[in-house]
Amino acid sequence: MPHIAIPIPSLPGKQEIEIEVTINGQKQQLHYKVELFYWADCKIPSIDRADCIRNMLNEYGNEDWMLYYIGAPTDEFVPITFVKKEDWKRQRAMMTAQTD
């Protein structure tokens, strides 16, 4: 899937992002959210931060959203981007229809 990078201001806490795009005359609305997962919130202390992220995501449990992107970690947190599942399915269906 092609990507377009859009800079988003770094603000503390959760950010909900709605983007309306027109691709070949077809309008779509895309919903993303960025949440900060803090290392201090790891319930199982581990040297391996990947294990920490995995555990936090397993406990996240939001049925409407799916993992989209794990950002560059800092010493305090890692930003994680989620996309609405229904938007992702719609994007995939459009891509499949274009290749048929």
Q: What is the DSSP string of 54-79?
A: HHHHHHH--TTEEEEEE----SSEEE
In a domain, 53, yes or no: yes
Has residue 1 got a pLDDT over 60?
no
Round to whole Å and give the CA distance between 33 and 68.
9
Average pLDDT of the segment spanning 20-33:
81
Q: Quick check: pTM over 0.85? A: no
Q: Domain range for residue 57?
A: 15-91
Q: What is the pLDDT of residue 100?
A: 54
Does residue 97 form part of some domain? Answer: no
Q: Is residue 5 part of a domain?
A: no
Is 99 contained in some domain?
no
The answer to whether residue 78 sits within a structural domain is yes
Q: Any idea which of 4-8, 52-56, 84-88 has the lowest mean pLDDT?
A: 4-8
In a domain, 96, yes or no: no
Q: Which pLDDT score is estimated for 11?
A: 67
Task: For residue 2, tell me if it sits in a domain.
Answer: no
Number of domains in the chain: 1
| pLDDT (tens digit per residue) in 35-50 | 888 888 887 766 788 8
